[in-house]
Amino acid sequence: MPSHISYSKLERTYTPDFRNKINTARSTNDVYNVFCHTVASMFNDITDSKKFRDSDIDFYPERECHYELGTNLKREPRVVECLHTSDMGRILDNMAQTATNRHTHLMKHPEKTNSKIMRH
């Protein structure tokens, strides 16, 4: 049985910047971009590569599972192993929930988004 690996150190590295960018996102598009970019960067760190892009992840705030990994990620053996033998699934779920909460807030209060855009 494979041992359980923890990526909490990676999580602590990415979480402050991720939360800051999500909290200052002006639109639902910004939320989508921040989430996808952060997840791609994390998997690039895990695999010691630069081959994953934002387009390898999809964000679906309306679904029960708020994200889906693209074919490139699903085919990468190191990513598959990481998802099955570590806490990466929990980390991604937490990040997706944070992004979904911000997305929902922006959808409910478009006037706040528009006023922020007008001020800058």
Read off the pLDDT of residues 31-57 as tens digits, 9 standing for 90 and up: 999 999 999 999 999 999 999 999 999
Q: Is beta strand 57-59 parallel, antiparallel or unpaired with respect to 67-69?
A: antiparallel
Confidence band of 118 (pLDDT split at 50, 70, 90): very low
Structural domain boundaries enclosing 87: 8-110
Position 119 in a domain: no
Instruction: Identify whether the C-beta of residue 44 lies closer than 8 Å to the C-beta of residue 58.
Output: no
Confirm whether 120 is domain-assigned. no
Residue 2 located in a structural domain: no
pLDDT in the model for residue 3: 65
- Asked if the structure places residue 43 within a domain, the reply is yes
pLDDT digit string, tens, across residues 60-105: 999 999 999 999 999 999 999 999 999 999 999 999 999 999 999 9
User: What pLDDT does 94 receive?
Assistant: 97
The domain total for the chain is 1
72 located within any domain:
yes
How confident is residue 115, by pLDDT bands cut at 50, 70 and 90?
low
- 40 falls within a domain: yes
- Residue 119 pLDDT exceeds 70: no
Q: Which residue has the higher pLDDT, 1 or 77?
A: 77
Q: Is residue 118 part of a domain?
A: no
SS3 5: strand
> How confident is the model at residue 109, as a pLDDT?
77
Per the domain annotation, does 69 fall within a domain? yes
Phi-psi region of 55 (alpha: psi -120 to 50; beta: other; left: phi over 0): alpha
